[in-house]
Amino acid sequence: MKEVWTLAEFRHGKLNPISFELLNRGKNLAQKLNTSLASVVIGYNIKKEDIDELIKRGADKVYVVDDIRLENFMVETYAKVILKLLDEYNPDIFIAAATTIGRTLMPYIAVKKQTGLTADCTVLDIEEETENLLQTRPAIGGNILATIKTPNTKPQMATVRPHSTKPSPPDKTKKGEVIYKQFDNEAFNAKTKYIKFVKDESQQINIQDAKIIVAGGRGLGKAENFKLIEELADLLGGAVGASRDVVDRGWKTYPHQIGLSGKTVSPALYIAVGISGAIQHIAGMQTSENIIAINKDPEAQIFKISNLGIVGDLHEILPLLIERIKEYKKKGAN
């Protein structure tokens, strides 16, 4: 029995779509190993539709633990519950998304299972001869890629960088098995108490989940000019990012900071406006699928990693760009 497991993320009463990206990864691995793919979903009040959705998106089995004491993520209880499942079913591979949950839970679990864990992978594959999981990840600020394996211990564990793959499309006809599990009180003992969640209203769209990010740097000149960035992001349905310089100046809050000491993002499109492209900034966004840069300095580093570079003054370019996109969208609407 060598199942491939993915962690489906259920928070604030909803399934995180990242769970479907993981299923896409998992499907590929399970096919190569000729085995079944299972998702684990834990939380409270998990709806039947959500479980069905996991099956349609590729899970052959779904392990469900639904308990009020799992309503909010707490590493101690989540780890205990998952460890019980791992001990009972012994999957070969267990992957989770490199979100704040995955990056907290997985290292905690890996230590208890005395197994290896590779962080923030962008490529997962199976080594043919050994059937080992090959885990590839960027390291050292994206300067290198390293392929890592966990040859002697099980499960082989990895966290996967959000948006490094597409979610698998739903297959309406697909059937799967649902296994409900319950655990006694001991599994829910914790030295932590969850108090509350406070939504950050300035983050309209969660940056790490955003398909499009429009980021501004010091070139904007002053805080008010960020309105242009916000407007463009809004038009494109994207989130707002910022360089550290801008955060240090208080033009934008820290949750928006992209880079080495901020967030690592990998959206489908990253538009960098008035950002020079310091290595510490690039470290957080260079795996974006498409990069467009606007900067008045033709020698700016950011152009080296851009698919399209516009050399010019952002104060001329942004207002016109915004206007033209609005026109384009209006035309589309008619």
Ligand X SMILES: Cc1cc2nc3c(=O)[nH]c(=O)nc-3n(C[C@H](O)[C@H](O)[C@H](O)COP(=O)(O)OP(=O)(O)OC[C@H]3O[C@@H](n4cnc5c(N)ncnc54)[C@H](O)[C@@H]3O)c2cc1C
Count CB-CB contacts under 10 A for residue 18: 24
The tokens describing 219, both together, are: 């070139």
255 binds, among ligand X, another protein, none (CB under 5 to 8 A by kind): another protein
Answer whether 306's CB lies under 8 Å from 292's CB. yes
Closer CB to ligand X, 205 or 317, in the complex: 317
Of 24-32, 63-71, 86-94, 314-322, the window that binds another protein (rule: CB under 8 A) is 314-322
Residues 240-259 as x/- pattern, contact with ligand X by CB under 6 A: ---xxxx----------xxx
With binding defined as CB under 8 A, does residue 301 bind another protein? Answer: no
The per-residue DSSP string of 317-333 comes to HHHHHHHHHHHHHHHHH
- For 37, list phi and psi in degrees, rounded to 5: -110, 130
274 binds, among ligand X, another protein, none (CB under 5 to 8 A by kind): ligand X
Closer CB to another protein, 68 or 198, in the complex: 198
Among 171, 289, 297, 327, binds ligand X (CB under 6 A): 297
134 binds, among another protein, ligand X, none (CB under 5 to 8 A by kind): another protein
Containing 230, the helix (H) or strand (E) segment is helix 226-236
Which residues, numbered 218-237, are part of the site for another protein (CB under 8 A)?
236
With binding defined as CB under 8 A, does residue 254 bind another protein? Answer: yes
Closer CB to ligand X, 157 or 258, in the complex: 258
Kindly report each contact of residues 221-227 with a partner whose C-beta sits within 8 Å and lies 24 or more positions away, as own/partner.
221/274, 221/315, 222/251, 223/249, 223/250, 223/251, 223/252, 225/315, 226/251, 226/252
Among 79, 207, 232, 300, binds ligand X (CB under 6 A): 300
Q: Residue 89 and residue 60: Cα distance in Å, rounded?
A: 15
3-class SS at 281?
helix
Answer whether 273's CB lies under 8 Å from 311's CB. no
145 binds, among another protein, ligand X, none (CB under 5 to 8 A by kind): another protein
How many residues belong to the site for another protein (CB under 8 A)?
92
3-class SS at 287?
coil
Among 262, 264, 286, 309, binds ligand X (CB under 6 A): 262
Could you list the residues that contact ligand X (CB under 6 A)?
217-219, 243-246, 257-262, 274-276, 278, 280-281, 284, 294-297, 300, 313-315
